[in-house]
Structure 1
Amino acid sequence: MASADSLSKLLRCPETRQELRPLDDSKLDELNEAIRAGELHNHAGDEVEQTLDAGLIREDDAVVYPIRDGVPNLLIDDRIPLKDSD
C-alpha cells in the first residue's frame, strides 16, 4: 500500500497535469477566513460555503483543490482560483 507522501507525489492537476502539493497552514487560514466572509468563489463562479480541512495547491500557485473529510476534490469547477488569470 502506498504511503500518503508517495500518493501525494502522484496527484496532478486534472487540467494542466502540474504537480499538486499540500497547502500551507497560513494560506489555508487565509482561504477559510475568506470563505467565512463570503468572499471566495470557485472556478465555476459559485460561492464556496464550506471551509477547507486542507487543500492541494497547484505547482504554479494559481489554484487550490479543496480537501474535506480527508478526501481531495479534483473537479475543475470546484477548484479555487488564487490568481486573476485563472
Structure 2
Amino acid sequence: MSVDRHLLQVLCCPITHQPVRPLRRDELRLLNERIDTGELLYQDDTPVSGPVRDGLITENGERIYLVEDDIPVMLEERCISARAAGLKT
C-alpha cells in the first residue's frame, strides 16, 4: 500500500466517518474480477475501470475507496459498494 500510515490514521469515510484500512490482496483480486465483468459501478453510477492496484475499505466493510497515483480518492460519489464488489455478503 502506497498510502502513508500516518495519513491512514486520520482518513475516514466521508459518509459514515468510519476509519479505513488498506484492501488485502485477496480483496483486490475479487474487486478486479468484478471490474472485469464491466458491471461494477461507483456510487454516482459511472462504471469502474480497472485494474485497481490499491484501495481502502471502511472498518465496517461497507465502502471501498480507490487509491489513484498514491492519492486516496475519498469522495462520496467515487466510492464502491463492497457488497456489489463481492467483498461483503
Do the structures match in fold with TM over 0.5?
Answer: yes
CA–CA separation in structure 1 for the residues paired with 2:57 and 2:82: 9
Q: In the alignment, which residue of structure 1 is the partner of 2:10?
A: 10
Conserved? CA contact 1:12–1:18, under 8 Å = yes
Gaps of 5+ in 2: 85-89
CA–CA separation in structure 2 for the residues paired with 1:64 and 1:29: 14
Instruction: Using the aligned pairs only, state the percent identity.
Output: 33
Q: In the alignment, which residue of structure 2 is the partner of 1:74?
A: 74
CA–CA separation in structure 2 for the residues paired with 1:64 and 1:83: 10
CA RMSD of aligned residues (A): 1.6
CA–CA separation in structure 1 for the residues paired with 2:71 and 2:6: 16
Q: How does 1:1-86 map to 2 (within 5 A)?
A: 4-83=4-83
Gaps of 5+ in 1: none
Report the CA distance between 1:51 and its aligned residue. 2.3
Rg comparison, structure with higher value = 1
Report the CA distance between 1:82 and its aligned residue. 1.4
How many equivalent pairs are there?
Answer: 82
